[in-house]
């Protein structure tokens, strides 16, 4: 290609003369700002450049490696005009492009683009630590001390030395670090965003190189737009040199973090009209509910909860404390009750939805991990919750979660961040996601005589971070079975839903994205209603001296649910009806999971400590009788113990045996001799 004009001159006159719509000199002003803020790069809109000179823009895009150095020279010359002192101080300015005309899907980038400037979007899944990269080296000859200055270091991974010393004709060099030039260097891995993924495909990724002032401007989990030059990087095998197969990488020219707003779903004027019309329908909640996983029969409460989760409550920051608005849902249920299907549905309809397994699908699992790269460098890799930041994370079989994730989950679910400090990498990543999780019961089937915590292989501290917990039990029930069978047979024979969902999922996505712009506030009446409910429940537990019925966590959950309900109807005020609905739903799930079968009271302690208060009382009682017997005889005979419990305290024999066995299993008691028990210290 022959370039018949002077690139630098043209670009400098662009910077000097380009005016934005309001008539201001856009780039001259930017240069002044760069000088006053101490920045190192000028950001140029490609749209502006095309308007100014289409030919120059096309050259820049096709032959960036040749054109960019010229542009940088020009930008530097103009910086000298605007702010001479600053220009002399930094000696070089980067030209970074944004708003290219075309944004490629990440999976389309291939050899066709080698050497060109392209723009694509994705999510950062991995970041290495920042390393110094040598760009200009100064060497001293080890034999005669001759100095060889400013040897440019090109793309090769090895340091380029002069061949022989011009003075003594030897070739033994020592790098003088303090007289060489380094820049910051970092590698990032960009993966297709979940929402861009063709159905059923595994996300592709591409490694990019960022240098200088671009390092650490974006973190794993961030949605970014990358502009860069596509390069083929040789794979080097130790001792065998380069392979014929190269890796595609991108030398980053610019990286912009997107997604300060929740979703970038485009909504047309007509669609907006339809959204407003549906929202004002009095039957809106029924319609929304009926649109959730229509192929799954029943589960009204769960579907209602899913509706609220999709819309979400309003996050707040007060006095430096963040309180999440996201609603977390857990479904524990017998196998084959449609849990996985529900989750699959949610991840498809939710803007930024992600579906994963408890084990996670990558090395990073659910939260984040520090992994060792092929080259031995440490890299931070984002897990599922970080990748679904500002979206919904559907976690199937959460009970199979890896031990490493268990610890990090606590933070992720309440503070909505994931912190990691390992292998020299210290970072806190955002994980502002709603979680819908499913779990199978620990004993294969849900045992209603045990507590939720016993039924699921998860620590109570994680359980208590779910706003709503549902139990799906597969009990034979004649009329329900008949209706489900009817429904499933119908689906299979007609291949169609009995009735079309009132809101199709594509449109529901848009509806949700639109509604999320609204941040409803509690009305005075709604506030009173919630307060009354909370105080009444607390007083109830006080007066009966019984289990604590409800805690501040549930109070916050009710607020979130009510806010979500208001959002769903595009209202900016939370009404009493919203709170009533939230309280009803909360009550319904509490009954399923927190209902203390023995005392007949709702008992949050079951979720919190894993044992209903009445059971803890009984365990306490058994322990005290064991102590008494131990004091008298050195140890407690099992038969005596059961007899005393039955005769003096009226405890049923089968129950006391069951509890004693449980305590033996837990290790609170141990069998000193067959038939004789002792308390573990």
**From residue 236, how far is each of 161, 189, 249, 507, 650 by CA, in Å?**
19, 19, 15, 49, 78
Binding partner of residue 415 among ligand ADP, Mg ion, none, CB cut-off 5 to 8 Å per kind: none
Q: Does 337 bind ligand ADP (CB under 6 A)?
A: yes
Instruction: Using CB under 5 A, pick the residue from 340, 428, 599, 609 that binds Mg ion.
Output: 340
Dihedral angle over CA of 22, 27, 29, 33, nearest 10: 140
Dihedral angle over CA of 507, 511, 512, 516, nearest 10: 150
225-260 as b/e, with b when 16 or more CB fall inside 10 Å? bbbbbbbebeeeeeeeeeeeeeeebbbbbbbbeebe
How far apart are CB 463 and Mg ion at their closest, in Å? 19
Q: How many residues bind ligand ADP (CB under 6 A)?
A: 14
Q: Which is nearer to Mg ion, 472 or 626 (CB)?
A: 472
Candidates 294-302, 340-348, 447-455, 491-499; binding stretch for Mg ion (CB under 5 A): 340-348
Chain-centroid distance, C-alpha 49 = 37
Binding partner of residue 335 among ligand ADP, Mg ion, none, CB cut-off 5 to 8 Å per kind: ligand ADP
DSSP state, residue 74 = H
Binding partner of residue 338 among ligand ADP, Mg ion, none, CB cut-off 5 to 8 Å per kind: ligand ADP
d(CA 385, CA 382): 8
Binding partner of residue 337 among Mg ion, ligand ADP, none, CB cut-off 5 to 8 Å per kind: ligand ADP
Instruction: Using CB under 6 A, pick the residue from 69, 132, 335, 600 that binds ligand ADP.
Output: 335
β-pair partners for 45: 98
Q: Does 341 bind ligand ADP (CB under 6 A)?
A: yes
Residue 245, classed as helix, strand or coil, is strand
**From residue 411, how far is each of 123, 246, 265, 419 by CA, in Å?**
22, 41, 29, 8
Q: Does 498 bind ligand ADP (CB under 6 A)?
A: no
> Please, are residues 275 and 569 in contact by the beta-carbon 8 Å criterion?
no
Q: Does 340 bind ligand ADP (CB under 6 A)?
A: yes
Q: Does 344 bind Mg ion (CB under 5 A)?
A: no
d(CA 478, CA 476): 6
Chain-centroid distance, C-alpha 368 = 10
How far apart are CB 337 and Mg ion at their closest, in Å? 9
How far apart are CB 480 and ligand ADP at their closest, in Å? 9
Q: Which is nearer to ligand ADP, 443 or 670 (CB)?
A: 443
How far apart are CB 343 and ligand ADP at their closest, in Å? 8
Which residues lie closer than 8 Å to 609 by C-beta, 6 or more apart?
Answer: 453, 460, 616
Q: Does 184 bind Mg ion (CB under 5 A)?
A: no
Q: Does 36 bind ligand ADP (CB under 6 A)?
A: no
Q: Does 488 bind ligand ADP (CB under 6 A)?
A: yes
How far apart are CB 339 and Mg ion at their closest, in Å? 5
* Terminal C-alpha separation, the chain: 85
Q: How many residues bind Mg ion (CB under 5 A)?
A: 1
How far apart are CB 488 and ligand ADP at their closest, in Å? 5
d(CA 392, CA 154): 44
Q: Does 153 bind Mg ion (CB under 5 A)?
A: no
Q: Does 246 bind ligand ADP (CB under 6 A)?
A: no
Q: Which is nearer to ligand ADP, 23 or 336 (CB)?
A: 336
Candidates 146-154, 268-276, 337-345, 668-676; binding stretch for ligand ADP (CB under 6 A): 337-345
d(CA 381, CA 186): 14
List binders of ligand ADP among 248-307 (CB under 6 A): 296-298
Q: Which is nearer to ligand ADP, 221 or 441 (CB)?
A: 441
d(CA 267, CA 215): 34
d(CA 590, CA 603): 8
Q: Which is nearer to ligand ADP, 11 or 345 (CB)?
A: 345
How far apart are CB 42 and Mg ion at their closest, in Å? 53
- Could you give the residue ranges of the DSSP H alpha helices within 495-544? 505-515, 524-543
d(CA 137, CA 159): 8
Candidates 144-152, 418-426, 482-490, 626-634; binding stretch for ligand ADP (CB under 6 A): 482-490
Instruction: Using CB under 6 A, pick the residue from 320, 336, 424, 476 that binds ligand ADP.
Output: 336
Strands 173-175 and 131-141: antiparallel
Q: Using CB under 6 A as the criterion, which residues of the chain lie in contact with ligand ADP when the complex forms? A: 296-298, 333, 335-341, 484, 487-488
Q: Using CB under 5 A as the criterion, which residues of the chain lie in contact with Mg ion when the complex forms? A: 340
């Amino acid at each position: 290609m022959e370039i018949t004009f002077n690139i630098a001159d043209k670009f400098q006159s662009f910077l000097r003369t380009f005016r934005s719509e309001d008539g201001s000199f856009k780039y001259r002003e930017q240069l002044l700002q760069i000088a006053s803020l101490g920045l190192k790069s000028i950001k140029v809109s490609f749209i502006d450049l095309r308007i100014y000179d289409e030919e120059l823009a096309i050259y820049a895009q096709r032959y960036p490696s040749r054109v960019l150095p010229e542009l940088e020279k020009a930008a530097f010359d103009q910086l000298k005009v605007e702010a001479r002192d600053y220009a002399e101080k930094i000696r070089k300015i980067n030209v970074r492009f944004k708003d290219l005309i075309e944004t490629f899907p990440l999976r389309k980038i291939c050899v066709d683009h080698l050497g060109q400037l392209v723009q694509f979007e994705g999510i950062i899944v991995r970041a290495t630590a920042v390393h110094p990269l040598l760009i200009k080296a100064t060497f001293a000859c080890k034999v005669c001390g001759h100095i060889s200055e400013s040897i440019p270091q090109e793309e090769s991974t090895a340091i380029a030395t002069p061949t022989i010393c011009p003075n003594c004709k030897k070739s033994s060099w020592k790098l003088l670090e303090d007289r060489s030039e380094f820049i910051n260097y970092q590698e990032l891995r960009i993966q297709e965003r979940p929402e861009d993924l063709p159905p059923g495909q595994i996300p592709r990724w591409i490694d990019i190189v960022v240098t200088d002032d671009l390092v650490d401007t974006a973190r794993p989990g961030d949605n970014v737009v990358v502009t860069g030059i596509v390069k083929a990087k040789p794979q080097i095998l130790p001792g065998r040199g380069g392979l014929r197969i190269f890796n595609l990488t991108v030398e980053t020219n610019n990286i912009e973090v997107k997604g300060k707003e929740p979703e970038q779903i485009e909504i047309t004027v007509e669609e907006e009209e339809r959204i407003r019309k549906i929202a004002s329908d009095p039957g809106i909640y029924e319609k929304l509910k009926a649109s959730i996983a229509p192929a799954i029969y029943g589960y009204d409460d769960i579907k209602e909860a899913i509706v609220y989760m999709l819309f979400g409550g309003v996050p707040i920051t007060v006095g430096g404390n963040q309180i999440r608005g996201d609603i977390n849902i857990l479904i524990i249920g017998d196998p084959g009750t449609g849990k996985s299907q529900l989750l699959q549905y949610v991840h498809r309809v939710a803007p930024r939805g992600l579906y994963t397994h408890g084990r996670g699908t990558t090395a990073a699992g659910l939260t984040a991990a520090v992994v060792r790269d092929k080259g031995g460098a440490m890299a931070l890799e984002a897990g599922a919750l970080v990748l679904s930041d500002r979206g919904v994370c559907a976690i199937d079989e959460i009970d199979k979660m890896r031990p490493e994730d268990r610890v990090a989950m606590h933070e992720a679910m309440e503070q909505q961040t994931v912190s990691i400090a390992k292998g020299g990498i210290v970072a806190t990543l955002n994980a502002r996601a709603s979680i819908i999780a499913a779990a199978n019961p620990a004993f294969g089937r849900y045992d209603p005589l045990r507590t939720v915590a016993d039924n699921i292989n998860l620590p109570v501290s994680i359980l208590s971070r779910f706003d709503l917990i549902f139990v799906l039990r597969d009990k034979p029930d004649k009329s329900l079975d008949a209706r489900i069978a009817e429904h499933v047979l119908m689906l299979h024979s007609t291949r169609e839903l009995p009735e079309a969902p009132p809101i199709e999922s594509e449109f529901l996505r848009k509806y949700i994205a639109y509604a999320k712009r609204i941040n409803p506030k509690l009305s005075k009446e709604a506030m009173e209603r919630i307060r009354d409910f909370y105080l009444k429940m607390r007083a109830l537990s006080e007066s009966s001296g019984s289990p604590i019925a409800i805690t501040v966590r549930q109070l916050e959950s009710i607020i979130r649910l009510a806010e979500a309900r208001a959002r769903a109807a595009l209202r900016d005020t939370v009404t009493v009806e919203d709170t009533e609905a939230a309280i009803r739903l909360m009550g319904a799930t509490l009954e399923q999971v927190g209902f203390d079968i023995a005392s007949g009271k709702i008992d949050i302690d079951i979720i919190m400590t894993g044992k209903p208060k009445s059971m803890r009382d009984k365990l306490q009682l058994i322990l005290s009788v064991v102590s008494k017997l131990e004091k008298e005889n050195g140890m407690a005979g099992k038969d005596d113990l059961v007899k005393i419990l039955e005769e003096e305290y009226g405890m049923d024999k089968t129950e006391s045996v069951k509890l004693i066995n449980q305590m033996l299993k837990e290790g609170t008691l141990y069998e000193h001799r067959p038939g004789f028990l002792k308390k573990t210290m």
